[in-house]
Structures are given as structure tokens and as C-alpha cells.
């Protein structure tokens, strides 16, 4: 089990909740304090739960009225007749003890119910915090992956072996502009879609590589692709061209006059 799984299992065990309300055994206390002192994630969850428990206690705290005890004693004195104590009739003593025991039982039941509700709320909040931590880690991993891709692209762009080719549209597509980056040594190709004039819904732009007079499709270009991206590398390509094709693309270039084209000089 890796560290992340250990932390998740621990947080889901509710040991933190028991630790906060002083219900852990000696071995459980040692385990909880080990996790708090070793893993910052656990310490953060512990501190947050501690703050919420203290706040909840302050909000729900109710001060007893100042004269509550005096009022109870006065009521007992007014409503209870005084009976001389007789050795063979100790009923009054047991009756008073029964009342005290009932009051204590009610207070204990109320406290238990309150702690149960608080424990349930803390458990739910604990799970939410765990989910938030792993969502954050997932976002960090995705951002690191994107950063790695960007650094790799930057490395390729700055490679002395990488050639840059700008494809500009002709009269049929004056605003069209794309930039191709090709590295024959690394056998990698990238394209940056700078601008594409809008087409009818039933047409698309498609890029081609000229390999000894045969046009090989490298994919469809769209406005959504206006970022640096990899395209298939074609060995011994003589040129690149962009044509207008039916929606979905074509297996063969349908026009002998593309809207943009450029010759490649990779062997020079």
C-alpha cells in the first residue's frame, strides 16, 4: 500500500474524530499522533476538524440560568412534605436518589446524542476534505503533464534542426495562416493554426503532405486547433498544402488548386 492509500485509509477510519473527543486507546492515540506529525495532509485535516469542533461547541453552548439551582431546591421544599425519618421506612432517600439518577441519565443521553450528531457531521466533512485533497492532487498532476508537453514543444521549436514553414492562403482564403515546424532528425512535425477563414458547415480545411506527387492526409484543421500541436511526420515529403474538403475530410485531395501550399527543403 502506497503513502496516498495509507493516508486515505487512515482518514476514513474516523480515528481523528475519536482522538478529538478523547475516545482513542493508547495505541490509537500513538497512531493518530504519528500520522499528524508525519503527514502535512493529515495535520491540515486535523487542524480544520479541531477548529470546526471548537466553533460548534461555542455556538451550541448554553449557560444555565443563575438561579436555576435555587429555584429547583425551593420547588422541592414547597411541594414535598417533611416526614420524620424512620429507620424502617427509608423511601424518601431512595426516591431522591432515583430523581438524581434520572436527571443524570437524561443529561448523559443528551450529551451522547449531541456527540453522535457532531461525530456524523465531522465524518462527512472529513470525507469532503479527503475528496478535495485528491482532486487537488489530480489537478496538479494534469498541470504538470501539460507543463511537460509545453516544455517539450518549446525544446523542439528551439532545436537548430527544426525548420519553420509559413503557409499563407491565396485569394480564395486570404486570412488563412498556419506555421509548420518540421525536424527531420527527430522525425517530428508540429503545426500552429494562426487563423482560418470561416467555411460553410459542410466544408473543412484539410492539410496534406506531397510525397513524390502523392497527397497524403495529415488531418483536418479547425478553429479549435488554434494551438501548437503535433501532426504525423512524413519521410521525404516535398511539400505541404491545405485544401477545402467536404465535412469529415477526404481520402484524396479533391482540388488541384489548394488554398495554401509550400515546398519543403528538408534534404538541403
Annotate 86-112 with DSSP letters as a single string.
BTTB-HHHHHHHHHHHHHHHHHHHHHH
Residue 27, phi then psi, degrees to nearest 5: -70, -35
In the chain, the DSSP E strands lie at 163-168, 177-183, 188-195, 203-211, 214-221, 228-231, 239-246, 260-263
Q: How far apart are CA 237 and CA 184, in angstroms?
A: 10
**What Rg, from alpha-carbon coordinates, does the chain have?**
39
Q: How far apart are CA 159 and CA 184, in angstroms?
A: 11
Q: What is the pTM of this model?
A: 0.44
Per-residue confidence (pLDDT) for residue 245, from 0 to 100: 92
Per-residue confidence (pLDDT) for residue 77, from 0 to 100: 56
Per-residue confidence (pLDDT) for residue 236, from 0 to 100: 84
Q: Are 179 and 191 in contact (CB under 8 A)?
A: yes
Residues 198-219 have a mean pLDDT of: 90
Q: Are 189 and 234 in contact (CB under 8 A)?
A: yes
Q: How far apart are CA 44 and CA 66, in angstroms?
A: 40
Sign of the dihedral through C-alpha 255, 261, 266, 268: positive
Q: How far apart are CA 23 and CA 42, in angstroms?
A: 18
Q: Which position has the higher pLDDT, 241 or 107?
A: 241
Q: How far apart are CA 104 and CA 180, in angstroms?
A: 83
- In this model, does residue 206 exceed pLDDT 70? yes
Amino acid at each position: 500500500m502506497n503513502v496516498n492509500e495509507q493516508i486515505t485509509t487512515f482518514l476514513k477510519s474516523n480515528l481523528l474524530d475519536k482522538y478529538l473527543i478523547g475516545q482513542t486507546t493508547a495505541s490509537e492515540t500513538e497512531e493518530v499522533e504519528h500520522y499528524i506529525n508525519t503527514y502535512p495532509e493529515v495535520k491540515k485535516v486535523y487542524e480544520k476538524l479541531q477548529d470546526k469542533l471548537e466553533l460548534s461547541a461555542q455556538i451550541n453552548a448554553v449557560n444555565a440560568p443563575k438561579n436555576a439551582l435555587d429555584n429547583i431546591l425551593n420547588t422541592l421544599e414547597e411541594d414535598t412534605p417533611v416526614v420524620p425519618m424512620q429507620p424502617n421506612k427509608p423511601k424518601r432517600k431512595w426516591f431522591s436518589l432515583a430523581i438524581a439518577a434520572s436527571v443524570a441519565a437524561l443529561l448523559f443521553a443528551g450529551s451522547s446524542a449531541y456527540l453522535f450528531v457532531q461525530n456524523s457531521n465531522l465524518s462527512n466533512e472529513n470525507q469532503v476534505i479527503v475528496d478535495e485533497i485528491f482532486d487537488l492532487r489530480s489537478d496538479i498532476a494534469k498541470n504538470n503533464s501539460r507543463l511537460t508537453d509545453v516544455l517539450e514543444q518549446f525544446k523542439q521549436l528551439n532545436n537548430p534542426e527544426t525548420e519553420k514553414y509559413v503557409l499563407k492562403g491565396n485569394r480564395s482564403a486570404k486570412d488563412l495562416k498556419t506555421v509548420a515546424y518540421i525536424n527531420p532528425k527527430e522525425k517530428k512535425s508540429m503545426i500552429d493554426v494562426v487563423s482560418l477563414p470561416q467555411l460553410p458547415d459542410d466544408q473543412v480545411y484539410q492539410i496534406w503532405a506531397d510525397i513524390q506527387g502523392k497527397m497524403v492526409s495529415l488531418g483536418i484543421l479547425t478553429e479549435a486547433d488554434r494551438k501548437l500541436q503535433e501532426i504525423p511526420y512524413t519521410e521525404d515529403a516535398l511539400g505541404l498544402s491545405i485544401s477545402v474538403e467536404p465535412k469529415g475530410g477526404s481520402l484524396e485531395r479533391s482540388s488541384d488548386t489548394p488554398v495554401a501550399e509550400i515546398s519543403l527543403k528538408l534534404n538541403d
